[in-house]
Amino acid sequence: MTTPPHTANERSYADLGRLGVEPLWRYYRNLFPAEPHSLAVPFLWRYHELRPHLLHFAQALSLEEAERRVLMLVNPGMQDPPATVNSLYAGIQVVTPGETAQAHRHSAGAFRFVIEGEGAYTTVDGARLRMRPGDLLLTPGWSWHDHRHEGTGPMMWLDALDYPLVNALEAGFFETYDQRSQDIRAPRDLPASQYVHGRLVPAWDTERATASLVGNHTWEETRRAFDAIAHDAVGSDVDGIVLEYTDPWSGGPVMPTLSCRIQRLPPGFRGAARRRTPGTIHHVVSGRGTALVDGRTLDWRDKDVFAVPGWAWCELTNTSRTEDAFVFSYSNEPVLRALGLYRETLTERMG
């Protein structure tokens, strides 16, 4: 056995790795950066470019050959494992008339936001939820879900899951249901009809669920909420008229890990810049505008999706002089808040 020399030369480092140790001083700055540096980059996915590919695979690949027919929106900085921003995923799913996407469940939380088509529904823990453009359908972690299309024409929606976060926490579980689709155990859209009564919510369920019991938030309900807000309401400097989808019982986010929002940017709106720790995925419901993200301009229009990495500066503009823009977005903000890791900074708008 040799005694290490009293100089920190390469030889003295050579044996460390196989002993399962590393010198902290060589890693320190990377492990404790002054501020976060996301691997994700600002990125925009144009729906009109993706749509023909979705339609191609809708013809070319049967749902028997794929668990789900989805194009994943993979951030160029986050390819392995694929993710859209650090902790979150987005994909666009296509289902054709007569198809059923196999029932399954996973511990990752998920939801759908419908982009186009009519006549499909998703069944969540035996409750059938209709899907229409602009609707938000929740499939909280570990709930059984299958999708069935009984309409005409293709049906496309945005899928969101937090599997990048769940897998990083090594808490990912998955099961396939023993039938292709679940039997319907509850009348259509029952959860919403039982649980949404404005500020009065049912108190008979003593066991609190970890996620909202309201499985669907229709575009009609969202539209009504916006219509009830005066058109000259001031809203947020950063986000305009921004609304959070909530669990009616807790008043908190719809799922323990996921916050879902929808914002209305009035014509010509130019938001103040902000950065915040959660990476955020945006989906444009309607309108056109720009997102200036860490100096990069993303030109968005209806049905596009764009990624804003965590701690990136972001400034949203509605470039239309006449039309409102409606933008849906989601993040793991509840996770960061629960862990004391939520931070944001704002700048005053220049000029």
Contact residues for ligand GTQ (CB under 6 A)?
68, 70, 91, 93, 101, 106, 145, 159, 161
Q: Among residues 156 and 192, whose Cβ is nearest to ligand GTQ?
A: 156
DSSP 174-225: EEE-SSSSPPP-B-TTHHHHHH-BTB-------SPPSS-S--EE-HHHHHHH
Q: Smallest distance, Å, CB 163 to ligand GTQ?
A: 7
Q: Among residues 84 and 280, whose Cβ is nearest to ligand GTQ?
A: 84
Using a 10 angstrom Cβ sphere, with 0-12 exposed, 13-18 middle and 19 or more buried, the burial of residue 37 is exposed
261 and 113 Cβ atoms separated by less than 8 Å? no
Q: Smallest distance, Å, CB 110 to ligand GTQ?
A: 6
Q: Among residues 68 and 270, whose Cβ is nearest to ligand GTQ?
A: 68
303 and 136 Cβ atoms separated by less than 8 Å? no
Q: Among residues 122 and 318, whose Cβ is nearest to ligand GTQ?
A: 122
Which residue is at the shortest CB distance from ligand GTQ? 159
Q: Smallest distance, Å, CB 139 to ligand GTQ?
A: 7
Q: Among residues 68 and 337, whose Cβ is nearest to ligand GTQ?
A: 68
Q: Smallest distance, Å, CB 157 to ligand GTQ?
A: 9
Q: How many residues belong to the chain?
A: 351
- Whole-angstrom Cα distance, residue 329 to residue 317? 15
- Whole-angstrom Cα distance, residue 215 to residue 283? 20
Closest CA to 279 of 329, 326, 228, 231: 329
Q: Smallest distance, Å, CB 63 to ligand GTQ?
A: 11
